[in-house]
A and B are shown apart, each in its own frame.
Chain A
Amino acid sequence: MNVESKQHTNENSAAWTGAPWKDPSQSPFIEIQSLHKRFGDFTAVDNISLDIYRGELFAILGGSGCGKSTLLRMLAGLEAPSAGRILIDGVDVTELPPYDRPVNMMFQSYAVFPHMTVEKNIAYGLRKSRVAPAEIESRVREMLELVQLTNLEQRKPNQLSGGQLQRVALARALIKRPKVLLLDEPLAALDKKLREQTQFELMNLQDQLGTTFVVVTHDQEEAMTLATRIAVMDEGRFIQIGTPSEVYEYPRNFFVADFFGNINIFDATVISSEPGFIAVELGASGTRIRIQHGGVIDAGAAVMIGVRPEKLLISKDKPTDDRYTVTRGVVEDLAYYGNRSIYRVRSQEGRIIQVSAQNSQRSVELAMEWDDEVYLSWDSSSSVVLQK
């Protein structure tokens, strides 16, 4: 899509200041207030409150059945909440039917109308709002150009590829210039290569239009690359809300840590707790470390220390620098990926620790082999305390 030039950026995105959720002078664009949704005995959405700001690309991330799609459908008006309110741009839309909401949605299966041409599909929303035919025509043309479907406007959906269908669905949802665009698993139906490309296109498009996007996905990578903020959802509740780097680097608990890629867990005991920091002793090696931590945990409590595989250093010799926390283990398995290698090390505690190491030196010889005794070390600031 034509996005290299950011001069197209309209006044909407001028409101984008980087991190409006941290700015107390900003008022939220979408306000979700204690929203509930029950289906019989089953609670799909359990008392969710959330503020989303103008121009955000907000991702709701969770496994299947966590309630994320129900939440999105409630924003679209396709599902009525059991309790709670939804405000968009200061207007309470809770009671509004979907066809009266300033919101459009891109469906997971795209839901492109099979009996209409590309052009008719894209124009559909404007036709329903009784926009003048001449304007419909020019805006359809504009959209076709934006999503690069010019020359395909007379095709029927069954003559299009998956990527092209996705663009039709996107154009159709954007043509009414909604205040909020909802995207349900926008990339799930695309193959890997197309996903990566489309991911960047979506981000650029959002930047260009300044529309507030709310994306629902089960794919952490998709959420991380697309979103300004991510809400991790499980069993109808938000577990953690933060920027991609916040949820990746400072996961609140094991669920979040595990959702965003691999994390190695070390058992530890709290020795002392002081404001901002706690001191722990690692279970097996007895190494003591200080870790930044917001809360207060009583001495003697058992905690989990999490370290991402790429934050671990693997070496045959013991690192001398005393900034490092060290434990030992034996290489049980290794996988060479070219740019990096993944080592699976059995630690003294008997856990399997995964280490991802950049192969920054060109070498045919592997630095570490199977059954080598190795030292694993990490900067204490790289580890995070996870509550059990």
Chain B
Amino acid sequence: MTGAIRHGAAGRLWRTTVITLPYAWLLLFFLVPFAIVFKISFADPIVAQPPFTPFFDWAESSPRRLLATFDNYLFLLEDKLYWVSYLRSIRIAFISTLLCLLLGYPMAYGIARARPPWRSLLLMLVILPFWTSFLLRVYAWIVMLGKHGVVNNALLSVGFIDGPLQMLYTDAAVYLGIVYTYIPFMILPLYASLEKLDQNLHDAAMDLGATPWKVFTDITLPLSMPGVIAGSLLVFIPALGEFVIPSLLGGIDSLMIGRTLYDEFFVNRDWPLASAVATVLLFILILPIMLFQRYQQGEES
């Protein structure tokens, strides 16, 4: 804002800095590392330091010989393990996003319609979990869901169940962990779009004959779509690559791509294959982001 008011060289410098800084950040900490990962994905694994073959053959031969290989990508296609991991990740991320949306929408709506003093308190409560370490909170679920955990003990003592339920190391625990962790990222953008919704639009629709449910589907939901999409992306993207939650709460068979990637990198020390896995993951993620951008452009025109 101030940049627009300032004149002359100082103003231009300020404006350039403000625009350049985030781009420089992205270039340095996203694009450059990604280029490195992308490059490694075309190498062969070797037992050496670093554990992959160079991009070019610097040895005697001149002109330089390109050593790039598509083997890693072909291997991803051939081995069923990767397909299964990707598809499982997409499914888990998708269902988790849906659950976050179903749970988060009424919460965001309630906060947006609450009286102002309540509103800030409720928002605080949504953000509050971030004040403890993410890892600690996931570990807490192990204590809660374990065979002799809080939930099982409570249910046993009330007499609802005869023996402890297997809750930990199941898909349900993974969903629970992801929904619990990422729901604030759904609620906050939803709240932002619901809060600025003009109450008069709601009243006008009702005045014109719409029942409360119709008001929701005709007015509230379409007008909060930007929040729905932003929130869904904010949940879907990290959930897709989630590694900690499936490792700690999921079963041995609950393969998600994040865990496969971890195993390739740290257990098998196959950096090129791990890089190929990461590259494919990124391209899977670009798709929903591009769809979102197209939606936004459609809204503006």
Partner of B200, one of A99, A107, A115: A107
- Interface membership of B138, Cβ < 8 A: no
Name the one of B208, B211, B218 contacting A104, with C-beta atoms under 8 angstroms. Answer: B208
Pick the 9 closest A-B CB pairs, nearest first.
Answer: A128-B209, A125-B208, A111-B200, A111-B204, A98-B206, A99-B209, A105-B207, A107-B200, A98-B207
Asked if A78 contacts B206 (CB within 8 A), the reply is yes
CA A236 – CA B232 in complex, angstroms?
47
Name A97-129 residues within 8 Å CB distance of B: 97-99, 103-105, 107-109, 111, 113-115, 124-125, 128-129
B234 at the binding interface (Cβ < 8 Å)? no
User: Contact flags (1/0) for A363-377 with B, using CB distance below 8 Å?
Assistant: 000000000000000
Chain B residues lying within 8 Å of A37, measured Cβ to Cβ, are none
Q: Count of chain A residues with Cβ under 8 Å from any Cβ of B? A: 24
Please report the number of residue pairs spanning A and B whose Cβ atoms sit closer than 8 angstroms. 59
**Complex CA–CA separation, A111 to B201 (angstroms):** 5
Which of B200, B208, B219, B222 has the most C-beta atoms of chain A within 10 angstroms of its own C-beta?
A: B208
- Contacts A109-B198, A111-B200, A128-B214 given: A99-B222 contact, CB under 8 Å? no
Q: Which of B201, B209, B214 interacts with A176 by CB under 8 Å?
A: B209
A76 within 8 A of B: yes
> Which residues of B approach A to under 8 Å, CB–CB?
198, 200-201, 203-211, 214, 218-219, 222-223
Judge if A54 is at the interface, Cβ distance under 8 Å. no
| Known A124-B208, A128-B214: A113·B203 in contact at CB below 8 Å | no
Q: What residues on A are CB-neighbors of B206 within 8 Å?
A: 78, 97-99
A-B CB contact pairs (8 Å), 7 listed: A76-B207, A104-B208, A105-B203, A107-B200, A109-B198, A113-B205, A124-B208
Binding site for B on A (CB under 8 A): 73, 76-78, 97-99, 103-105, 107-109, 111, 113-115, 124-125, 128-129, 172-173, 176
Interface of B, helix, strand, loop or mixed by DSSP: helix
Q: Which residues of A contact B210 (CB under 8 A)?
A: 99, 124, 128
Bound state CA distance, A115 and B218, in angstroms? 10
Chain A nearest Cβ from B222, distance in angstroms: 5
In the assembly, what is the distance between CA of A104 and CA of B210, in Å? Answer: 12
Query: Chain B contacts of A124 at CB under 8 A?
Result: 205, 208, 210, 218
Complex contact A125–B201 (CB within 8 A): no
Report yes or no: B207 in contact with A99, Cβ–Cβ below 8 A. Answer: yes
| Bound form: Cα–Cα A77–B218 in Å | 20
CB distance from A102 to the nearest CB of B (A): 11
Chain A residues near B208: list those with CB within 8 A. 99, 104, 124-125, 128, 172-173, 176
Closest to B201 in A: A111
CA distance A77 to B210 in the complex (A): 13
Q: Nearest B residue to A184 by beta-carbon distance?
A: B200
A125 touches B203 (CB 8 A): no
Distance of B108 from chain A, by nearest CB (Å): 19
Measured CB to CB, the closest approach of chain B to A78, in angstroms, equals 5
The smallest beta-carbon distance between B119 and chain A, in angstroms, is 18
Q: Which of B198, B203, B222, B223 contacts A78 (CB 8 A)?
A: B203
Whether the Cβ atoms of B214 and A98 lie closer than 8 Å is no
Residue from B198, B206, B207 with most neighbouring chain A CB atoms (10 Å): B207
Residues in A with CB closer than 8 Å to B218 are: 124
Question: Once the chains are docked, how many angstroms separate the CA of A107 from the CA of B206?
Answer: 12
